[in-house]
Structure 1
């Protein structure tokens, strides 16, 4: 168990008071409900310097359906797929190397993988299960497994030996050991920072409140973390947990209470807007959202960090159709004016490294080719067939 965890939780509950909301004058805000938007289209071309395409090699051992998680380092690509036992490791050219973290009960084997992350400084690949983390070398060698006694949903590396953890979803926040966001040093077993709750606890007591639908992506110095039903996107790095920007999704106090209740699922409130995912570049914040009364229709938002100007446009791709081909809905993205390739929407962005990582399945690419015949002329996309493995696209930012 992490040192000082429970004492620190009590101290923070006292010091933070009853809420975490910031006024829109203090933080930039993506207002999903705004009626007036700046003229123009959501664009990203002037942020991209070059595009790198990596078709993943297809073998009997590396057949991939939907990608559940991915991590990219300077040398390797790690993929967790719905059709494979364990995690697939490729080199940066897309050549298949090995499978690691296979299913089983022996040393180095895993049960249910919920996420993974990479500690690049220590060259460690870290696989998270409920209440445990297994560590492997970049050559697939099992090193050790650490057991945790507190509940989390995801773990994200934020520095050498330092892990950010996102609290377990759908569990009341008053359950012993529960928290919303934490930063822990797994080498020293110390708690660096902790937030017991990230919502407005004036709305209901903690025993009736839970976390819903975590969304996370890389920030300029760590990770953005957002839980459905709240108004704040949090930045988590190796030292602190702090508000990054706000999201106004149109929830009234009673609707937010319904969303945050531990007695309800993750269904959004009818007629309001829900964040599907988000990412950052050096100049902008981007969000992809849908209106709960029409989940086939998605909206793309871009917020200028300097001016606060907000642009929104609706996607012309049917989300329910696309979902059959890629659950990440990457195809609902920003038009690619850099090289005429696939719509741009990263699975993960790493703006500090000036990288964005996108994944498209082969059947999704074929679907998009039919929707936009110009894609058939793209030299890389021409080689993709429905039998291919997914395509990893790396956007190098300016």
Structure 2
């Protein structure tokens, strides 16, 4: 490789933010499904001073204690809840465990190893709508493997480029995010690409603007629920819905106002690190059927917001924890990590953390909806041991 090509490759390696060319045109006011692009006023959310309460959006909160035995003890990193299935990924070794909705351990999905029915550990995972199929991506092998909920290995194929995230699409196709901006044959870098389960790359989403060496190192991300896949590159302030065929369709426009990071800051890594908290940063979205959950950092605090997808009404709050107040049963405050895409959102708590808060009296004088709701929470806490597996927190939305 020549010095010039090496410099170019290094530039591509540190590229992060994508401007999607014609996709960001404001003339494209509707996506291909006929849905209008929704504008999210993050500046308004950042200024909000009210509080958000769980009872405003939820009918119920429940806790699922995951069984703890020598066969299923794990360090949590990712959960997926689908109908009667709870998939849990172990952070330490990438093994995937399956529990039912009552918390009973059913089986390990595949084994860690190089055998024909094994995998080399899941770096991340996704599941089908009903949970009858789970997809495991291994960075060690750069392969995507699927299993049935019964533990049977269904398929496996090589992923074309080293990737950090993926989402299942239609017709045995998958969208991948590569942080390295690998060059295409025409030497144009890309970050998102569509590949089928035969190893064929069907499409690459090209970059049109790159951050030079020495600039901030930031990458795109997916926001996924079973019915919707969103892709985000903050540099273009647009969140795209990815169609089943891999088309990028504008879904949300993020309006930062005066709190948007100036473009030139991205090109100076030291400056970026010094001033990034002065601007809105680290935007995360979680779309459900009726509500869009928003969370981001601003001025060294976390701001959270809820957007009604029926009328666009927005509520926001400034918090130190980035959580919604749990006034249903007086238990731990809540922010969803994932969703089933319809009316459930969920997260988890570690028993040791919950018990320490209980012992410090942090749940005293908390508001709750009824004595019965609070009693169920108290009973659950009193049944815990510090070394138990995590407790799933599942919220049913209105």
TM over 0.5, shorter chain: yes
- 1:338 alignment partner, SS class: coil
What does the per-residue CA deviation read over 1:211-253, in whole Å, with 9 as the maximum and x for residues that have no partner?
A: 8344433358312233455522222242332222133252111
- 2:24 alignment partner, SS class: coil
Counterpart in 1 of 2:120? 111
- 2:278 alignment partner, SS class: coil
- Paired with 2:178 and 2:70, the residues of 1 have a C-alpha distance of 35
**TM-score normalised to the size of structure 2?**
0.74
Counterpart in 1 of 2:144? 133
Shift of 1:392: 0.9
Aligned partners of 1:333 and 1:343 also within 8 Å: yes
- Paired with 1:218 and 1:268, the residues of 2 have a C-alpha distance of 30
Question: In angstroms, what is the RMSD of aligned CA positions?
Answer: 3.8
Please, which of 284, 296, 299 is the counterpart of residue 291 of structure 2?
A: 284
**TM-score normalised to the size of structure 1?**
0.74
What does the per-residue CA deviation read over 1:24-58, in whole Å, with 9 as the maximum and x for residues that have no partner?
A: 99843444444884663234534323333211000
Counterpart in 2 of 1:226? 232
Q: 1:145 to 1:45 in 2, by over 3 A?
A: same
Larger Rg: 2
Say which is worse superposed, 298-307 or 171-180, in terms of deviation: 171-180
Q: 1:189 to 1:203 in 2, by over 3 A?
A: closer
Counterpart in 2 of 1:40? 50
Is residue 343 from structure 1 mapped to residue 333 from structure 2 by the alignment? Answer: yes
- 2:303 alignment partner, SS class: strand
Shift of 1:350: 3.0
Is residue 144 from structure 1 mapped to residue 155 from structure 2 by the alignment? Answer: yes
Counterpart in 2 of 1:93? 102
Q: 1:84 to 1:37 in 2, by over 3 A?
A: same
Say which is worse superposed, 282-291 or 182-191, in terms of deviation: 182-191
Counterpart in 1 of 2:303? 299
What does the per-residue CA deviation read over 1:150-169, in whole Å, with 9 as the maximum and x for residues that have no partner?
A: 3322122244634232x212
Aligned partners of 1:194 and 1:241 also within 8 Å: no
Please, which of 344, 350, 355 is the counterpart of residue 361 of structure 1?
A: 350
Counterpart in 2 of 1:68? 77
What does the per-residue CA deviation read over 1:311-349, in whole Å, with 9 as the maximum and x for residues that have no partner?
A: 3322244xxxxxxxxxxxxxx411123333322211112
Q: 1:333 to 1:121 in 2, by over 3 A?
A: closer
Is residue 311 from structure 1 mapped to residue 318 from structure 2 by the alignment? Answer: no
The runs of 5 or more residues in structure 1 that have no matched partner are: 1-15, 318-331
**What is the number of equivalent residue pairs in this alignment?**
355
- Paired with 2:271 and 2:393, the residues of 1 have a C-alpha distance of 37
Shift of 1:103: 2.7
- 1:106 alignment partner, SS class: coil
- Paired with 1:107 and 1:300, the residues of 2 have a C-alpha distance of 45
Counterpart in 1 of 2:165? 154
Q: 1:284 to 1:133 in 2, by over 3 A?
A: same
Counterpart in 2 of 1:269? 276
Shift of 1:21: 6.3
Aligned partners of 2:296 and 2:302 also within 8 Å: yes
The 5-angstrom pairing of residues 350-389 of structure 1 reads 350-351=340-341, 353-369=342-358, 370=360, 371-374=362-365, 378=377, 379-389=379-389
